[in-house]
Chain A
Amino acid sequence: MAEREQLAAWLTATAQGDERAFQQLYAATSSQLYALLLRILRSPERAQDALQDAYVKVWQKADTYTPERGAPLTWLLSIARYRALDVLRRKRPEVAMPEEPDMMATLLEDEQALSPLEENENQQSLDAIRACLKTLQPQQRDSVLLAYYEGLTHQELSQRLDAPLGTVKSWIRRGLMRLRECLSERAS
C-alpha cells in the first residue's frame, strides 16, 4: 500500500477508535511533525509538549480528515503547526482547528481540490511550492518563509527584516497572491 493510502487508512481507523492504527500512524509520522515543531519552537521541551498536544488533537479530530484535504502527512503537519502557533502566541486566544462541517460539500464544488493527487504527491507538492517561491521577490519570499518556519507575526517580521509594518504586510499579501497564481498555473 502506498504511503498516502496507508496513512489515510490508519487515520480512518483512528477515527473509529483503533488504538493500534493510531500507534502506527504516530510511529510513521511523528518524526516529521517533531522536525517542524523543533524548527518553529526551538526547544526540545516545548516541541515535545506541542507534539503530544498535536497527536491528542489528531486522535480527537481524525474523523474530520478527508482525502480532499490533501495528503495525510500535510494535514498532520498543519495540526502540529497550529499547535506551535498556539505555543508562540500563548497570551492570545487559541488558534483552534477550524470546524468544517460542510468542507466535503464545499470541496466537491472545487475542481482543483478534487484533482487526484499522485502517489508521490508529497514530493510533487514540495517541488511545486519551492518552484513558485523562486518566482517571488526576495522580500516577499523571505517574509513567507520566516512566517512559516519561525511562526513570526507581522510585527515580528517587521523587526526581523527591519522594515515598516505596512511594508511587511504588503510583502506577505503580494507573496501569497503570487504563490496562488503560480501554483494555479502549474496545476493547469
Chain B
Amino acid sequence: MTSQERDDDVVLEAGEYVLGTAAPDERDAFEQRLKTDPAARRELAYWERRLGSLGLGLAPVQPPAAVWDRVSETLSLGDTRTAATPRSQAPAANDSRFWRGAAIAATLVALVLGGILLSQPTYHHGFGEPDPPHAYTSIVYDDPTGTGWLVTAWAGDDEMQVVALGDYEVPEGKVLRAWLKPEEGEPMPLGTWPHSKGGYNMTLSEATVKRMAPPAKLMVSMEDAGTSDQTRSAPAGKLMWSAPILSRAG
C-alpha cells in the first residue's frame, strides 16, 4: 500500500465513521485506530466539522421545555427547571400540526440542497411505533435557478402546503399554475403556484385529493395572467416543471 493509499484509507474510514455508514466491525476498528493514530483523529475532526455543517441547513425547531427539565434533573443541576426556554416562545412542539409543518420546513432545506429525494421510496418506521399520518410529497426544482418548492398534502386534508425556498421571476402578464396529472385522465387544476419565497396553503378539491396518489405527477405551467385555470382541462401555456408525487409516511 502506498502512502497516498494509506492517506485515502484514513480519509474514507473517518468519513464513513462520521457519516454513520461504517459497518460495526469497521467502526470498532476505527475507534481502536483513533487511540493511536493522530492522522485518524485529525480526519475525524475534519469530517465532523465539514459534514456537521450540513446540520446548519435545517430550520431550527424549538424543543418542548420539558426536555431541559429532564436534562437538568438527570444532571442534578440547581433550580434551572424550565429556565432555558428561549426568549421568543415557539408554538408547542407537541402540537401535531405545528410539528408536521416544522418537520416539513426542516426537511425542505435538506431536500432542496441536493434535490435528491425525488426518487425516495416510502419511508418505513421501525421500532414498533404506530405509523404516522400518510402524506404525499413532491419536490419541484428549477435547475437553472436552483429554486425549489416542497409540496406536502396529508391524507384526509383538503389543503396542500407549498414551501417556496426562493423567488422565481415570472414575466409580466404571466402567472404560474399548478396541475395534478393523475395516472389516467387529463390534468386537474390546483391553482396559482407561488413564485415568492415563503409558505403557502393551497385548497384542494375533493376530486384532486382522491387522485393524488402515485404515480400521479405535479405539473406547473406558465399561463397568461387573467385566465382562470378552473375553466381549463389542461395547461395552455408552457409546461415549466413536472415532478412525481411520492407517497410516504409523515
At the interface, yes or no: B207 with Cβ under 8 Å from chain A?
no
- Are the CB atoms of B57 and A179 closer together than 8 Å? no
| Given A69-B48, A93-B24, A98-B31, A148 and B19 contact (CB-CB distance below 8 Å) | yes
Of B24, B54, B86, chain A has the most CB atoms within 10 Å of the CB of B54
Which residues from chain B contact A32 at a C-beta distance below 8 Å? 55-56, 58, 60
Q: B84–A23 contact, CB under 8 A?
A: yes
Chain B residues near A20: list those with CB within 8 A.
80
Which residues of A1-50 are within 8 A (CB) of B? 19-20, 22-24, 26-28, 30-36, 38-39, 42-44, 46-48
Query: Which residues in A have their C-beta under 8 angstroms from that of B62?
Result: 30-31, 34
By beta carbon, the residue of chain B nearest A74 is B52
Q: How far is the CB of B19 from chain A (nearest CB, A)?
A: 5
B19 close to A19 (CB less than 8 A): no
Known: A130-B57, A160-B121. A39 touches B107 (CB 8 A): yes
Q: For residues 141 through 172 of chain A, which have their beta carbon under 8 Å from a beta carbon of chain B?
A: 141-142, 144-149, 151-154, 157, 160-162, 172
Residues of chain B in range 1-40 having any CB-CB distance to chain A below 8 Å = 8, 11-12, 15-16, 18-21, 23-24, 27-28, 31, 34-35, 38-39
Chain B residue numbers with a CB within 8 Å of A23 are 68, 72, 77, 80, 83-84
Across-interface contacts of A185 in B (CB, < 8 A): none
Cβ contact of B52, chosen from A26, A52, A81, A112, cutoff 8 A: A81
Closest to B121 in A: A160
Question: CA–CA, A157 to B116, complex, Å?
Answer: 13
Interface size on B, residues (CB 8 A): 76
Tally of A interface residues using CB under 8 Å: 91
Q: In terms of DSSP, what is the predominant structure of the interface of chain A? A: helix
Q: List B33-67 residues whose CB lies under 8 Å from chain A.
A: 34-35, 38-39, 41-42, 44-46, 48-64, 66-67
- The reply to whether B116 and A75 form a contact with Cβ atoms under 8 Å apart is no
The reply to whether A75 and B63 form a contact with Cβ atoms under 8 Å apart is no
Report which of A92, A126, A142 forms a contact with B57, defined as CB distance below 8 A: A126
- A33: B residues at CB distance < 8 A: 55
A42 to B106, CA, bound (A): 11
Tell whether, in the assembled complex, residue B48 and residue A177 are in contact, meaning their CB atoms are under 8 Å apart.
Answer: no
- Tell me whether B102 is interfacial, beta carbon within 8 Å: yes
Nearest chain A CB to B102 CB, angstrom units: 7
Are B63 and A153 neighbours in the complex by a CB distance under 8 Å? Answer: no
Q: Known contacts A34-B61, A52-B70, A102-B41; is A177 also within 8 Å of B8 by CB?
A: yes
Which A residues touch B227, using CB under 8 A?
none
When distances are taken between beta carbons in the complex, the residues of chain A under 8 Å from B93 are 34, 44
Q: Report the bound CA distance from A71 to B103 in whole Å.
A: 25
Closest 5 CB pairs of A and B: A70-B49, A31-B60, A125-B53, A77-B55, A74-B52
B residues near A (Cβ < 8 Å) are 8, 11-12, 15-16, 18-21, 23-24, 27-28, 31, 34-35, 38-39, 41-42, 44-46, 48-64, 66-68, 70-72, 74-75, 77-78, 80, 83-86, 90, 93-94, 99, 102-103, 106-107, 110, 113-114, 116-117, 119-121, 123, 125, 127, 129, 132
| Residue ranges of A at the interface with B (Cβ–Cβ < 8 Å) | 19-20, 22-24, 26-28, 30-36, 38-39, 42-44, 46-48, 51-52, 55-56, 59, 68-71, 73-75, 77-78, 80-81, 85, 88-90, 92-93, 95-96, 98-100, 102-103, 105-107, 109-110, 112-113, 122-123, 125-126, 128-130, 133, 138, 141-142, 144-149, 151-154, 157, 160-162, 172-173, 176-177, 179-180, 183
10 pairs of residues in contact across A and B, judged by CB atoms under 8 Å: A23-B68, A42-B132, A99-B34, A102-B41, A106-B39, A107-B42, A145-B116, A148-B20, A172-B16, A173-B16
